[in-house]
Amino acid sequence: MPERTDSPPRHSRGFVRRLLDPLAGFGVTLTTMFKKPATESYPEQKTPTARRFHGRHQLNRYPDGLEKCIGCELCAWACPADAIYVEGADNTDAERFSPGERYGRVYQINYLRCIGCGLCIEACPTRALTMTNEYEMADDNRADLIFEKDRLLAPLEPGMDAAPHPMRPGTTAQDYYGGSVR
């Protein structure tokens, strides 16, 4: 005598499941269709960056225009990508670029290698190197992505003199490093 089963055949349950599975996927599609798009119109509308965004590097100056970089090369040693090259030189009384004994005569950052980690910023003892919010550095010429010192130096503000020039009368290097030179 054949056995009687009250449940539908096994193959018919699989058939129904195969029909309903795509509807679950369409449900996801339908819910995202009516959400506001997250796409930005980048070249036309630039959104502001975060305050602590790591962009292009900048070599800072003291308020009188002398450079903060003392040519110690700690930033180059800290860089894991080997993107920074610094060559220090000695200041003279005739040509003074920074308040200390030395200054960074050659300073290069290779943005083809830079990974934007900020370890160079942390290593700088005089806070000479910081990062700006500028992030548009793309170029079709590889040589233009190696920034020299003249492109990295902060622009002169009113009241600053371009280096080389002597320290302000009556000041020492400690006055500069302590922040008392205005």
Q: Specify binding-site residues for [4Fe-4S] cluster.
A: 69, 72, 75, 79, 114, 117, 120, 124
Do the strands 129-131 and 84-90 form a parallel or antiparallel pair, or are they unpaired?
unpaired
How deeply is 31 buried, as exposed, middle or buried, from its count of CB atoms within 10 A (0-12, 13-18, 19+)? Answer: exposed
Distance CA 140, CA 144 (A): 8
Name the token pair of 169.
Answer: 């009368």
Of the candidates 157, 59, 174, 166, which has an alpha carbon nearest to the alpha carbon of residue 106? 59
If one counts every other C-beta atom within 10 angstroms of the C-beta of residue 35, the result is 7
Whether the Cβ atoms of residue 175 and residue 181 lie closer than 8 Å to each other: yes
Residue 108: strand, helix, or coil: strand
Alpha carbon 64 to chain centroid, angstroms: 27
